[in-house]
Structure 1
Amino acid sequence: MSSPRPTSTSFAILGLLAVRPWSTYELTRQMERSLRRMWPRAQSKLYEEPKKLVELGLATADTESVGRRGRTVYTITDAGRRALAAWLAQPGDGPVLEFEQLVKLSFAEHGSREDALRTVAAARAWAVEQNAENLSAAEEYAGGAGPFQGRAAQGMLAGAFFTDFYALVAQWADWAGEQIESWPDEPSQARADVAELAAIARRANWH
């Protein structure tokens, strides 16, 4: 049987191990805080990937006693740091968007106008909900109270992206709601606003 190969998820977890050693429970909490928004698949691989890293010699696993219970703590190795550095030297792939509400709106003519409005409202509510946690973390770090302050420069990059992304979804939902409100009761009879199409074309020429 061939040995496992590290994946992007492997390296995401290896990156966390480069910050400090973690138990499986601690990794769960830290992934929820730092990786869930940008790499959610890491959580589903939580128990599989650290063991793979150990098998590859990129991490070690040590059992510690906590009261009557034991826990496994994973630590990055020198080989793991070299592998992580080599992975970071590659630019990586761009984002892949998965947005069910946008898919639904793409076929809105087969439903009702009210269906489309509810979908847009749900998208905006999602943005507001996600940004509540984001705002709390942003204010925490801006006040110098966030965890791992020494890594704030790195975390700020992702924080800025998600701040703008949530605002984008909310602003788009407001605009989309206005467009749908102008549709006739039968969505299949809706016609695009020519001025809006022209405005979109102008915005698309941003580079």
Structure 2
Amino acid sequence: MQPILTQNFSFKLSKYQVIPLAAILTILTIMLFFKFSPALNTRATTWESALNNTPAALFKKVLSVDMAPEIDQKLVKVMQIPSQGAGKLYLFDYHSPKLCGAKGCLYSMYTESGELVLQVIANPNLPPLTNLIQVSDTVNQKFPCMVVTQSANKEDMVTNNLYCYEGHKYARFNESLTAVTSEVKGIKK
């Protein structure tokens, strides 16, 4: 009698078994690729209508805290930002001159439970292809950090302000100066 480790095992599949097995393995490979690929795993965040994409109780609270009653609710935009186990964040862009001044416009971010965690005044007039507010890859206390970009006093430069969750609110951690390249400005040389 041969030891179990040295026995030859024979495993034969018919052509009708190979095709479904190959299809299943291909699907599993694709699913694993999307699950573990960091570049593809992060969800792109975009501005959407707040009226249709915000829980009703939260939207009502946001309107009562931040906005004058005359502001058109249909113009308010929201960016839903996922956290790592702490619920969604809702970043609001009010699209109203009534909430804008010489330095910019009001942007507010709330948790799902209605806690105000960030308010910034930011000027949306930026060079082409420059995002005003974007989600950072850095995470602090389960919430992603946010980068608010603003035009700098120098031509072809922008400032990137990093805000991270600290305690119960977002706090500004640093500011960096970045050159706006000709590709970002939409000019091809």
Q: TM-score range by the shorter chain?
A: under 0.3
> What TM-score do you get using the length of structure 2 for normalisation?
0.24
> What TM-score do you get using the length of structure 1 for normalisation?
0.22
Would you tell me which structure has more helix in proportion to its own residues? Answer: 1
> Which of structures 1 and 2 has the bigger CA Rg?
2
| Greater relative CO, 1 or 2 (CA 8 Å, sep 6+) | 1
